[in-house]
Amino acid sequence: MPITTPAALERLKLDKGIESYERKTIDVELEVIKDSEVMSEFINAVVPSTEAELWLKKQQLIQRQKPTVAGILLFADEPQAIFPKHCGVKIYRYKTKESEGTRDTLDFSPITIEGCLYKQVQKAVTTTIEIIEKIPIIGNQGLENIQYPKETIHEIVTNALLHRDYSIARDTHICIFDNRIEIENPGKLPGHVTVKNILKEQYARNGAIVRIINKFPNPPNKDVGEGLNTAFQAMAKLRLQPPDIKETENSVIVYIKHEPLASTEVQIMSYLEKDKEITNKIARKETGIRSEATINQAFSRLRDKGLIEAVPKRGKRNAAWRRVGTIDEDSENAISSYEIYSEYQQLIMDYLEEHEEITNRIGRELLKIDSGQSMKNIFYRLQKKKLIELVPGKSRITAVWRKVKSPPT
């Protein structure tokens, strides 16, 4: 839509990061930040040899003898008294799994978290975790408390409060449902950041806030732009679905759902529904599993079930897998599931041309498969074709197979 008013142009500049609201000065007394309890604690802990006002000016948190928005958020004891509705946090607990909470499902009155940004982040995180840990679910041992990774809660709440658009007169809302957490922040994603590239791109709407809060003792952020990635990895470690990020017309919402991930094999096959092939590296990224060996084991299980096959003409370092029967555009020799089993059966019969007997273990070593059941299935197919038979006198546990003996002439 065309920009027709100065206010709309200002809004666009803030959304795109051309201007930063945190640098604006506010017409309040300097004492609000330079003589605050927060400032005194910070100076004593971090820069004890410096005077507060001098340090604040060096950090550009005082300009033209007025405190900036960033200075007030970081060092005023009660920023909310200066910016009503611009910098509070509201926490709600809804006892429902429905898409929206209602007054009837509200467990208690919303909790308001205020104070300087450093203490506000800490209090918002700890309060959210305390409420979550009281939510009961039915588990393997009966009634259990729900579990979310604390790293995920910490990183997403921290990210919300450090990067929100403080020019908008609306609080950050944390809604805790029986099966999910919703964290809604006023404002759109800043600059060139989108929902699709948010884990790869770095852009700080509030650069001064992000930099200076990192100077506090035990800072809530690491100042390396990895917070959201840490949140996603923590969910994967607990085998939970990754957070879901949505951008609306005037807010960003992160959904943290308590939903288990599908099995590794299902995730691999789901990926191969939309992409032609998958590597170990891609599978680890998709599943959140860091171990190459664990992914290789999953590939082997799927191969043994006849569901995937190695992509031909790939070296060990760039090995990839595809669904069985995938058409190879560079080759006329596409292999189907039936042909794979035929190839396996032929290898068994070739082995029995030179050896009298074969066991399940020898067959698995010969065909390079891990599954004993898959090996049995191949033996059963050959038996059904009357090409092999069980050696008499052997138990099923130590079963041995041989070629069907031709009847005497």
Residue bearing the bigger pLDDT, 238 or 278: 278
CA distance 105 to 389: 67
123 pLDDT above the threshold of 90: yes
What's the predicted TM-score (pTM) here? Answer: 0.66
How buried is residue 373: exposed, middle or buried, by Cβ count under 10 Å (0-12/13-18/19+)? exposed
CA distance 35 to 62: 13
Question: What does the pLDDT read at residue 45?
Answer: 95
Question: What does the pLDDT read at residue 407?
Answer: 60
Summarize pLDDT for 130-164 with one digit per residue, the tens.
999 888 876 666 667 788 899 999 999 999 999 99
CA distance 382 to 367: 15
Question: What does the pLDDT read at residue 331?
Answer: 39
Buried (b) or exposed (e) across 135-168, using 16+ Cβ within 10 A?
Answer: beeeeeeeeeeeebbebbbbbbbbbbbbbbbbbb
208 pLDDT above the threshold of 90: yes
> Among the listed ranges 41-45, 230-234, 272-276, 335-339, which one has the minimum average pLDDT value?
335-339
Residue bearing the bigger pLDDT, 318 or 42: 42
Buried (b) or exposed (e) across 85-103, using 16+ Cβ within 10 A?
Answer: ebbbbbbbbbeeeeeebee
Question: What does the pLDDT read at residue 277?
Answer: 92
Q: Rg for the chain (alpha carbons), in Å?
A: 31
Percent of the chain with pLDDT over 90: 46
Q: Report which DSSP code applies to 21.
A: G
Comparing CA positions, the residue from 77, 84, 86, 81 lying closest to residue 115 is 77
Which residues are CB-contacts of 182 (< 8 A; sequence separation ≥ 6)? Answer: 173, 174, 175, 253, 254, 255, 256
Work out the pLDDT band at 288, boundaries 50, 70, 90. confident
Which residues are CB-contacts of 406 (< 8 A; sequence separation ≥ 6)? Answer: none
Write out the E strands in 7-65.
Answer: 62-63
Summarize pLDDT for 14-25 with one digit per residue, the tens.
777 678 899 999
350 pLDDT above the threshold of 90: no
8 pLDDT above the threshold of 70: yes
Structure tokens at 391: 């050696």
